[in-house]
Structure formats: structure tokens, C-alpha cells
Amino acid sequence: MQLERILQKHGFGSRRECRGLVRRERVAIDGRVCDDPFVELDTDGLVFTVDGVDWPYAECASLMLHKPAGYECSRKPKHHAGVLELLPVPLRERDVQPIGRLDEDTTGLLLITDDGQLNHQLSSARRKVPKIYLATTKHRLDQEQIGRLLAGVLLADEVEPIVAAAAEMVGENQLRLTLTEGKYHQVKRMVAAVGNRVEALHREAVGELTLPADLKPGEWRWLTADDLKKLGYAT
């Protein structure tokens, strides 16, 4: 694929703008500046550099973000900054979007992609992809509340009880909850239904993919092939 097309695909502007980047010697391949926007490159394993920043060739842009509090998972945020503002401009230009949503005050693992198939697979209610949350509650937890969450609670506007796939106390005021559905404010509403209240909420994992301990709030990284396997998604 021609270099200018690679740059355009990765969100660096129109083909004319990408040609300008190359001709101004802002692009390097294998550590060497390239000034030919029409050079044909093998995209398999390709890593190119723009203004000193490495970019791996990615047919689809799929990544994980450690979402901090205070950001909306919306491309058109209304009350707070949008979570996509934490990403570099070229990624935003690729039209990536969050897979599902976390509330503005919820932190933790957020997946973002421009891969429609991955988005659909992880969002589909039929696939029941587990999501693990750590909730800090206002009141002390007890086994009766855990039992009710595991047995199922009836939420407003729902016809059938919503059942937690797993629930355990990890402290007097901390609950680890596994859900396989993605209903509106589900964790908060389920905890409220058993007579408690969520004061803080953090998503630890999606499927078998857990938030890396070294990924700080606001930081992101590409999903690897191993990460995608943990999500049950074959590339």
C-alpha cells in the first residue's frame, strides 16, 4: 500500500495532507526518514513514525483505555469532557468509539474500536460477555444482599429479575459483581434494589481481559492478539 494511503487510513488527514507530511520529512520507516509519499510498503508488521511517534499499521484500531472519572462515553458529550479526548487526534479521526458505556463517575477498563464486528460481538446481549465490577457501597454489605443479587432482583421497567453471574464481598463495603448484561445503570440499580447504594464503581475486566495494573487512569494501549483472544474474538 502506498505510504500516503497508509497515513490517510490512520487518521493523519486527507491524501493531500498526508503527502505534505511525507514531503516535509515528518515520516520515517524503520528509523529512516521517507520523503516519497507514493512508495509501496508491505503492511504486515509495519511500524511507521510520524513526528517521532511510532504507529503500528492496524487494519482496525482496537484499544483499551483506563477510564478516569469525569468523562462521558459519548462522541457528543453534554455535561463533561468526552472520553475520546484522551486519545491522540489520529485515532479520533479514525472514527473509533467506545464499546458500550461507563457512567461519567465510573472508572476502569473501557474498550474502544472502529471494528464493527468486535463492537457487535462484545455488545450483543445474546453472547453474554461477562463484565466484572468492583463497587464501593455506602452501607455495610451482608450475605443476605449477596444472596439476593445471585437470586435475581426486579428492576423498574424490567419484566424478569436480573441475576448476577457472580457476587462476592471483598470488604465490608466492597462488592465484586459479575454481570453478563449491559442494562442502563445496572450495577447501581441492582445494589439499590437490595437496600444499599453504590458510592464508587470500577470495571476490572471484560471477558477474560483484565485491566493491566500498570495502565494508569487516562492511559491507553493497543489490544494485542492475545487480548482479543481473551475477549473471545478471533482476528
How far is the C-alpha of 183 from the C-alpha of 187, rounded, in Å?
A: 9
Residues 6+ apart with CB under 8 A from 192: 198
Taking residue 38's Cβ as centre, other Cβ atoms within 10 Å add up to 10
Nearest 10 degrees: Cα torsion 183, 189, 190, 195: -170
> For residue 158, what are the contacts with CB-CB under 8 A and spacing of at least 6?
183
Q: Is 103 part of the annotated catalytic residue set?
A: yes
Does residue 62 contact residue 223 with C-beta atoms inside 8 Å? yes
Residue 111 backbone phi and psi in degrees, to 5: -100, 140
> Of these residues, 36, 103, 114, 115, which one is catalytic?
103
CB 55 within 8 A of CB 49: yes
Asked if 235 and 185 count as a contact pair (C-beta separation under 8 A), the reply is: no
Helix (H, G, I), strand (E, B) or coil at 115: coil
In DSSP notation, 131-146 reads: EEEEEEESS---HHHH
Q: Give catalytic residue positions.
A: 103
